[in-house]
Structure formats: structure tokens, C-alpha cells
Structure 1
Amino acid sequence: MNLSIIIPLLNEEESLQELQNWILTVMKANNYSYEIIFIDDGSTDKSWSIIEQLSIENSNVKGIRFLKNFGKSQALHAGFAKAQGDVIITMDADLQDSPNEIPELYDMIINQKFDLVSGWKKKRYDSVFAKNIPSKLFNWAARKTSGVQLNDFNCGLKAYKNIVVKNIEVSGEMHRYIPVLAKNAGFGKIGEKVVLHQPRKYGETKFGMDRFINGFLDLITIWFLSRFGKRPMHLFGALGSLMFIIGFFSAGFIGFMKLYKLYHDLPYELVTNNPWFYISLTTMIIGTQLFLAGFLGEIILRTKNNEERYKVSNEINFK
């Protein structure tokens, strides 16, 4: 199979039929073998009924329905697990991503040998202050932190080799950072393509300003995980040991000075009246806690079980 097109959605009943027809036009024009996987992330409108009807009309249309809204990352994770195509395309369901971009994305994966190609909505139709400026700031921070030189981490239109999506774990709200996850997994040939961004035709956006706040928090998380996720002891153990040593030598110095004054019959004060006593005690306690945090982190990594992150209520056309 040439293509798996994965489309996560939430309350997009007006756009689904039109989006499917547009995709089918592109598939037929290029003679692709394909599957379209809609992931209904807890819609409360008629989205799932429309997906059921589309799947009856076309056996290449498949559907996954969540019991409730679990988030875009979980929807992509479910789609990646089911995808069978040589090339995986992800796109949004709101018609702002153009299926006409698919052939060039496919060519970049198959013929130019990219592991992943991310869309870049260079010209946007969103509000300048509500989305464009925060998005530029967010993308700048993501580039500096991750080392992945993309202009648009948030673009939902992306193409992947099948092996890439089968070897990355998309959890929490990490869908923005799939290129970073791919890089950390060893897939280093990451490309970018300028894609058409269209004005939203139906409904309203499901994302507000909070997505940028969450995005920056996720950026910190992925920075930490990429460097210390598999070796927490390297960070917490090192910091804990350093603080404990500082506290230990501070306490030793206080004890030495008291003994020195006692030996030379010099006036001295109680140890507990010396502020350095409390500084040394605090640093030793914090150092011990950090060391234990790293130790516990190592144990958790070696004993953790993969937990189910979402619940599926229905599936269509999967064998």
C-alpha cells in the first residue's frame, strides 16, 4: 500500500465529506493505493455517523472512535499503530490542509529519501496577534531547544516513512514535537515543504492561546526527556552529589573552626547560632533527596509497564 492518510478530528461534521472527496480525487489522479484513517477524538456532533457512512461507501475509509476526548497526540498514536502504508500522511480535518500537497510529500519520502517531511504554512490566514506572533515565538524556541531546524512545528500536514511512526511514542501533548521525537529515535533526515494554508471554511478552531503555553511546557519536558529521559541519575544524581558535598564540607568547616577555637581557648558561639550550619544542613538534605529522585527514576524506568492512554469504543474496516 502506498499511503496511509491519518486524520484526527473533533466535531468536524461539516468538512468530512468534502475532505474525503478531495482526497479521493488526488488518490485517483496519482493511481495510489491508500487507506484513510479517521480518528474521532470524542466528537459530540455527527462526525462519527458521517465516518460510518463514508466507510460503507468506500472500504478504504477506516475509523477509530474514542470514548471521550483524549487529545490529538493520542489520536495520532492510535492511527500510527494501525497504519499500513509505506508513507504515512497526517493532516487536519478542517480543510485548512490541502490534499493537493500529498503527491509532493510522497515524492520527498520515496524518491528524495527523507525520513520525515513537515509542512510549513509560510503564508497564514490566522489572526496575527492571536496565532501568528505566538507561533513564530514558539517555533523559534523549539528550534533553539531541540536543534531541529523547522519553521513550523505546529503544522499538522506531515509525511513519514512507515518505520518512523512505528518507532516513536507520541504521548501527552507531544504531537507538536514529532520531528524531535523522530530525531531522538535516530531518524535524522528531516525535511520541510512550504504548503498552502487555507482559511477555515466551517466551524471554529479547537485550539486557543493555551496551546502555546502548553507547547512551551511540553518543550521543556521534551528537552529534559531527550537528554536525561533514559538516564535520570545522570542529572539528579550529579546535582544531589554536588549539593551534598557542598553541605558536607560546609559542616566540616564549621566543626573544624569550633575545635580550633576550643583548642586555643578562643571565644566561640553555639553551632546552631551559625547560619552556615543551616545552609549546610539544608544542602545535604536536598542533595540526598535529589540523589534518591534519580535512583527512583532509574528503578521506574526498568520496571514501568506501558499503560493504555486512551479507550477505543468503535473501529471500522480494520481486519
Structure 2
Amino acid sequence: MDISVVVPLYDEVESLPELTSWISRVMSENNYSYEIILVDDGSTDGSWDMIVKLKEGNPFIKGIKFRRNYGKSAALNTGFEAAKGNVIITMDADLQDSPDEIPHLYRRITEDKYDLVSGWKAKRYDPLSKTIPTKLFNSATRKMSGIHNLHDFNCGLKAYRKAVVKNIEVYGEMHRYIPVLAKWAGFIKIGEQVVEHRPRKYGKTKFGMSRFVNGFLDLLSIFFVGKFGKRPMHFFGSMGTLSFFTGMILAIYLIAEKLYDLSHHVIPRQPTDNPLFYFALVAIILGSQLFLTGFVAELVARSASERNKYQIEETI
């Protein structure tokens, strides 16, 4: 099969007939073998009934229904598991992504040999309350991930080589950082394609301001797990050692200061009168806790079932 189109959706009953018809038309015009995987993330507006109806008239449509709303990441991950195409295209169900982009995205994967191609909506129809925070997050993600050639990590319109989606796990709010997940999994040929951003035709956006806080926390999680997931002691141990020895140096300094005063027959100050005493105490305690955290995390990592699971591209 050439292409799997994975569409996560939540309460998008009005757009589904037009979207699936549009995708099918593009596939037929280009003679692609394909499937459309619609993942209903706990909709309450009759979206699932519409999917069942659409499948009766289009055998290329497949539907997956969650019992409740789990979020876009869960829907994408489930769609990735079900996908059978050599190239996987993801797009939102609100018709703001154009299926006419599919042929070019497909060629970028099959002919240009990219692992992942992410859409960039250079001209957007979103309000400033959404575009400004998005730009800030994209800037932070570029710096932390080292993927400097992407302008928009969160664009729903993306194309993947099959091996990519089968070797990454998307959870939490990680769908915003799939290119980062792909890079940590060893897929480094990541490109970008300018795509059309269409105004929303039906319904309203399902994302609130809380997604920016969650997105930032997930970015930190990706950075930590990707860099130190298999060696947590390197992170916690180094931080703990640095903090502990900083506290010890301050403590030795305070002791030396008191001994100096005694040797010169000067009445020494009480250690608690010096603010450095408290800095030293906190640094020693914090350093010990960080070191112990690293030790426990190392034990957990070494006991994990996937401690020696690595991405192997090819064997001969």
C-alpha cells in the first residue's frame, strides 16, 4: 500500500464527508493505493455514526473509536499502530489542512528520501493569542532539539516513512514534538514543506491555553528522556556531586575561618550567623538527594524491560 492517511478527530462530524471525499479524489487522480484511518477521540457529536456511514460508501475508510477523550497524541499513536502504508500522512479533520498537499509530501518521502517532512503554514489564519505562543515554543524547541530547519513543529500535516511511525511512541502532549521524537530514535533526515493553511470551515478549535503549559513540560520530558533515559545517573549524579562538593567547600571555608579566628585569639562568630552556613547546608542536603535520586533511577532503568532495546536500521 502506498499511503495511509491518519486523521485524529474530536467532534468534527460536519467536516468528515468533505474531508474523506477530498482525500479519495486526490488519491484516485494520482493512482495511489491508500487507506484513510479516522481515529475518533471520544466524540459526542455523532462523528462515529458519520464514520460508519462513510465507510459503507468507501471501503478505503477505516475507523477507530475511543471510549472517551484521550487526546491527540493517543489518537495519533493508535493510528500509527494501525497504519499499513509505506508513507503515512497525518492531517487534522477540521479542513484547515489541504489534501491537495499529499502528492508533494509523498514524493518528498519516496523520491527525496526524507524520513519525515513537516508542514509549515507560513501564512496562518489563527489569532495572535495562538500564533505568538506558538512561535515562542517553536523557537525554544529548535534550540533544545537541534532541529534548526523547522519553523513549525506542531503542524498537523506531516509525512513519514513507515519505519518512523513504527519506532516512536507518542503520548501525553508529545504530538507537538514528533520530529524531536523521530530524531532521538535515529531518524535524522527531517525536512519541511510550505503548506496551505485554510480558515476553519466548521465548528471551533478544541485546544485551550493550557496546551502551551503542557507542551513546555513535555518538551522538557523529551529532552531529558532522549538524552538521559538510559543513563539517569549521569544527570542526577553530576548535579548532585556538584551541589554536594560546593556545600563541602563552603563548610570547609567556615571551619577554616573559625580556626583562624581562634588562632589569633579573636572571638569567632557563630557559624549560624554567617549566611554561607545555610547555603552550605542546603547544597549538601540537595546534593545528597540528587545523588540518591540518580542511584534509584539507575536501578529502575537497569530493571526496565527495554533497557537494551536500540533502533537497528539494517543487518546483513
Deviation at 1:269, TM superposition (A): 4.1
Tell me, what secondary structure is at the counterpart of 1:37?
Answer: strand
Deviation at 1:17, TM superposition (A): 1.2
Q: Distance in 2 between matches of 1:194 and 1:283?
A: 50
Match of 1:192? 192
Q: Distance in 2 between matches of 1:54 and 1:302?
A: 48
CA separation of 1:91 and 1:115: change in aligned 2, threshold 3 A = same
Match of 1:146? 145
Matches within 5 A, 1:110-125: 110-125=110-125
Match of 1:58? 58
Name the aligned partner's letter for residue 281 of structure 2: L
Deviation at 1:3, TM superposition (A): 0.8
Tell me, what secondary structure is at the counterpart of 1:135?
Answer: helix
TM-score, normalisation: structure 2: 0.90
Tell me whether 1:222 sits opposite 2:222 in the alignment: yes
Question: Relative contact order (C-alpha < 8 Å, sep 6+): which is higher?
Answer: 1
Q: Distance in 1 between matches of 2:59 and 2:189?
A: 34
Name the aligned partner's letter for residue 238 of structure 1: S
Name the aligned partner's letter for residue 143 of structure 1: R
Deviation at 1:167, TM superposition (A): 0.9
Deviation at 1:14, TM superposition (A): 0.5
Match of 2:204? 204
Deviation at 1:118, TM superposition (A): 0.6
Deviation at 1:102, TM superposition (A): 0.6
Deviation at 1:222, TM superposition (A): 2.4
Deviates more, 1:108-117 or 1:273-282: 273-282
Tell me whether 1:80 sits opposite 2:76 in the alignment: no
Match of 1:136? 135
Percent of residue pairs bearing the same amino acid type: 60
Q: Distance in 1 between matches of 2:284 and 2:210?
A: 39
Which string of whole-angstrom CA distances, capped at 9 and with x for unpartnered residues, describes residues 259-314 of structure 1?
455566543344444443333222111100011111222222233479xxxxxxxx
Tell me, what secondary structure is at the counterpart of 1:96?
Answer: coil
CA separation of 1:151 and 1:278: change in aligned 2, threshold 3 A = closer
Deviation at 1:153, TM superposition (A): 1.3
Tell me, what secondary structure is at the counterpart of 1:24?
Answer: helix
Match of 1:284? 284
Match of 1:233? 233
- Where in structure 2 are there 5+ consecutive unaligned residues? 307-316
Deviation at 1:212, TM superposition (A): 2.8
- Where in structure 1 are there 5+ consecutive unaligned residues? 307-319
Q: Distance in 2 between matches of 1:10 and 1:34?
A: 23
CA separation of 1:251 and 1:13: change in aligned 2, threshold 3 A = same
Q: Distance in 2 between matches of 1:121 and 1:250?
A: 53
Deviates more, 1:73-82 or 1:212-221: 212-221
Deviates more, 1:22-31 or 1:245-254: 245-254
CA separation of 1:287 and 1:86: change in aligned 2, threshold 3 A = same
CA separation of 1:274 and 1:96: change in aligned 2, threshold 3 A = closer
Matches within 5 A, 1:295-306: 295-304=295-304
Which string of whole-angstrom CA distances, capped at 9 and with x for unpartnered residues, describes residues 159-182 of structure 1?
000000111121110101111111
Tell me, what secondary structure is at the counterpart of 1:203?
Answer: coil
Match of 1:67? 67
Q: Distance in 2 between matches of 1:131 and 1:271?
A: 53
Moved over 6 A (4+): none
Tell me, what secondary structure is at the counterpart of 2:208?
Answer: coil
TM-score, normalisation: structure 1: 0.89
Deviation at 1:249, TM superposition (A): 2.7
Deviates more, 1:7-16 or 1:26-35: 26-35
Q: Distance in 1 between matches of 2:17 and 2:249?
A: 71
Aligned Cα RMSD in Å?
Answer: 2.0
CA separation of 1:63 and 1:274: change in aligned 2, threshold 3 A = same
